[in-house]
Amino acid sequence: MATIYQVSELAGVSLATVSRVMNNNARVSENTRNKVLAAMEQLGYRPNSIAQSLASNRSNSVGILVSELHGPFYGEMLSGIENECRAAGKHVIIAAGHSEEASEKDGIEFLISRSCDALILHVEAVSDEYLIKLANGNMPIVLINRFIPQLADNCISLDNELGGYLATKQLLQQGHTQLAYMAGPMWKSDAKDRYHGHLRAMAEHGLSFNPALLAEGDFQDSSGSACMQQLLAKGLPFSALVCANDEMAAGAMEVARAHGLNVPQDLSIVGFDNLILARYIYPKLTTIDYPIGEMGRMAARWVLKNIYQQQALQLKNIFQPVLVCRDSASAIAAG
Amino acid sequence: MATIYQVSELAGVSLATVSRVMNNNARVSENTRNKVLAAMEQLGYRPNSIAQSLASNRSNSVGILVSELHGPFYGEMLSGIENECRAAGKHVIIAAGHSEEASEKDGIEFLISRSCDALILHVEAVSDEYLIKLANGNMPIVLINRFIPQLADNCISLDNELGGYLATKQLLQQGHTQLAYMAGPMWKSDAKDRYHGHLRAMAEHGLSFNPALLAEGDFQDSSGSACMQQLLAKGLPFSALVCANDEMAAGAMEVARAHGLNVPQDLSIVGFDNLILARYIYPKLTTIDYPIGEMGRMAARWVLKNIYQQQALQLKNIFQPVLVCRDSASAIAAG
DNA sequence: TAGTATGATGTAAGCGCTTTCATTTATAGC
DNA sequence: GCTATAAATGAAAGCGCTTACATCATACTA
């Protein structure tokens, strides 16, 4: 691989000049610039990004921590981030945190040791305090799907409360009055917020929430099935079910079907996230759209603007979810 | 951030010694080692990986090119790779190729300029010649889901032909004799191989393949729907359908249902890939398992063994697909 | 015409490590 | 106690860049 040395020699200029035309950050005469460009071309020169990083103290890489690399959710997010970063010539280094505190911290340490210029984090297990401390260090971070008041500017989040509200509201407007709620793990803020949204909608319609119709799962489809079993076992009537995410909704739907319940005739179900699978399950799932790809993109823009000085970019911190109507929820039967 | 210099000063030894204990690659006395370790601890020292890379000419990073970051398939693969690499202290740099030649080449260039120690590629549009040339340069590459005879050692692939064979065989054993085939884009080698497997199974059962019952899609679910429309429009009878992937199978199933066909009573369907969605669609899809996560893991091991000298690892180049029986295919009705 | 900006280019000092080679210190053999 | 040998450590030269700072033309100004 050719080095800057050979380029400078071939072009008959100094190292510094070659560096200048590469970064075009200082005035170089048209003539010289062309000589250098020609030499680069001729040698097939590619700057060594490692050396650039060491010398400039910027690695041009952004670290990303997601809970999992597989699964329907994070792919969209990564895709959004990568697209935006790549277009700006930055690259992404990825680690998985597996929703466990130790693993998340470990991943963050790993990314830091890799000299990332900034971190985009989707973390769940780590505490607010830890993140605040991290943000006060000299590693810039942006948080996806998490809102911490002290770090408001660094958070790209969804109004989960509104989502829970909208999901519930839809069913209420369709005439349902007996609703069950299948929550995510309540230690996760998104699960909690969605639940609160549900409660608000219920209250708004003058309905009191029956705690017996609440089940708490872990966002996996298997727990959706398990929770549905529990709910049915109680023998309490309900004509609609709000699930805190699509996967649990899918699990619940399966159990409902096994119990001879038709969806949506006997039971309306609404999910949350609008994963790909929402379009594949039968009947197609009515759900709340989570624009995670767009949010990833926005997190990348945050970094481009705040770290790489692309001032022109517009930022947006809080996203509003919208309802996506499909086939799994319908008006309550007239009789 | 503390540097190696400060550590050496605090420990009262030279730079070189500190470097030695970090890499523990040369004999350092127990005593000295402890002093150095203590100094590191005290300073919270973390080696600067950029500087390490520049000095050692190894970046400890492996570049990965996938077609897309989102979608159900690549996530599994990335997850497998990341897991394996991370455990070995290597990191992954990811780029997307979007199944287009220019974009794939661009991504490869990008990864090379990032000084990766090796590349793991899932490329579709780029030619064999290009890859052979690339492999003959000094960037080690490993190919996933692609077999090129001259690069056999660098290929981690699935026996797609066998998969196509198994899918078809299952239906034949269930008594079906009139089978339709929905292929992927024939310029992709996996699509072609699966199709060949289908033909082999048919021939083995003494059945001739009716070209009118072949439709070529593009691996997307929308094209699965479109192809199904075409097939049904011909008015030719068939009791079973082999789809070259799960997404097309899902699209086809939907159209079948819209036409009043019950799956599997009226029409048996088998897919290929065993994506997550195969478990979610209704009825659950009988399909061929594509162990893409495992293959990603293997590609990572290839790199660890060949590039990072972890000699102990066992490698495997060709994976055998297996049939996963679910509910979408059943024995042909007795009548 | 000397004096002074101003733009273009060169010089050289790092960035924080690894690694070769030289040097010092310990161990053993006699 | 003295040499031969091995083990531990240090000195210093890079790795390929960036970036003050210095230098040198050139073009204006008065």
* Same fold yes or no, B59-158+292-320 and B160-290: yes
Q: How far is Cα B287 from Cα B273, in angstroms, rounded to an integer?
A: 7
Can you give the distance from the CA of residue A308 to the C1' of nucleotide D30 in angstroms? 46
Contact partners, residue B86, CB within 8 Å, separation at least 6? A95, A96, A110, B92
Task: Please identify which residue in the block is written with the tokens 């200082």.
Answer: A26
pLDDT over 90 percentage in chain B: 83
Superfamily of domain A4-47: lambda repressor-like DNA-binding domains (1.10.260.40)
Q: Nearest CA of chain A to the CA of B249: how many Å?
A: 11
Highest mean pLDDT among A269-273, B2-6, B58-62: A269-273
Is the pLDDT confidence value at A13 over 90?
yes
* Fold topology of B59-158+292-320: Rossmann fold (3.40.50)
pLDDT bracket for residue A334 (50, 70, 90)? low
Task: Please identify which residue in the block is written with the tokens 């204990």.
Answer: B21
Mean of the per-residue pLDDT values of chain A: 93
CA A118 vs CA A91, A133, A193, A279: distances in Å:
11, 15, 28, 35
Is the pLDDT confidence value at B335 over 70?
no
What's the start-to-end Cα distance of chain A, in Å? 78
pLDDT bracket for residue B106 (50, 70, 90)? confident
A326, exposed or middle or buried, with CB in 10 Å at 0-12, 13-18, 19+? Answer: middle
Tell me which residue in B71, B82, B257 faces A96 most closely, judged by beta carbons.
B82
Is the pLDDT confidence value at B84 over 60?
yes
* Fold topology of B160-290: Rossmann fold (3.40.50)
Which residues from chain B sit within 8 angstroms of residue A294, using beta carbons? Answer: none
Q: Do B50 and A46 touch (CB under 8 A)?
A: no
Contact partners, residue A53, CB within 8 Å, separation at least 6? A59, A60, A115, B50
Q: Do B50 and A48 touch (CB under 8 A)?
A: no
Query: Tell me: the pLDDT tens digits for B120-166?
Result: 999 999 999 999 999 998 899 999 999 999 999 999 999 999 999 99
Tally Cβ neighbours within 10 Å of residue A37.
16
Superfamily of domain A59-157+292-319: Response regulator (3.40.50.2300)
A88 part of contact set with chain B, CB < 8 Å: no
Predicted pLDDT of residue A18: 94
Q: Give the nucleotide at minimum CA-to-C1' distance from B29.
A: D8
Can you give the distance from the CA of residue B120 to the C1' of nucleotide D28 in angstroms? 60
Interface probe, candidates B61, B86, B94, chain A, greatest A C-beta count within 10 A: B94
Is the pLDDT confidence value at B173 over 60?
yes
A307, exposed or middle or buried, with CB in 10 Å at 0-12, 13-18, 19+? Answer: middle
Predicted pLDDT of residue A335: 46
Q: Give the nucleotide at minimum CA-to-C1' distance from A16.
A: C10
Q: Do A50 and B50 touch (CB under 8 A)?
A: yes
Average pLDDT over residues B36-46: 93
Please state the φ and ψ torsions of residue B283, each to the nearest 5 degrees. -70, 160
CA B222 vs CA A35, A115, A277, B259, B284: distances in Å:
52, 43, 14, 16, 19
Q: Which two tokens stand for residue B253?
A: 């199933």
Tell me which residue in B76, B91, B115 faces A70 most closely, judged by beta carbons.
B76
pLDDT bracket for residue A224 (50, 70, 90)? very high
CA B286 vs CA A172, A317, B183, B322: distances in Å:
38, 43, 17, 11
DSSP-derived letter for residue A153 is G
Q: Do A78 and B93 touch (CB under 8 A)?
A: no
- Determine whether the distance from the CB of B22 to the nearest atom of strand C is below 7 Å: yes
Can you give the distance from the CA of residue B59 to the C1' of nucleotide D10 in angstroms? 27
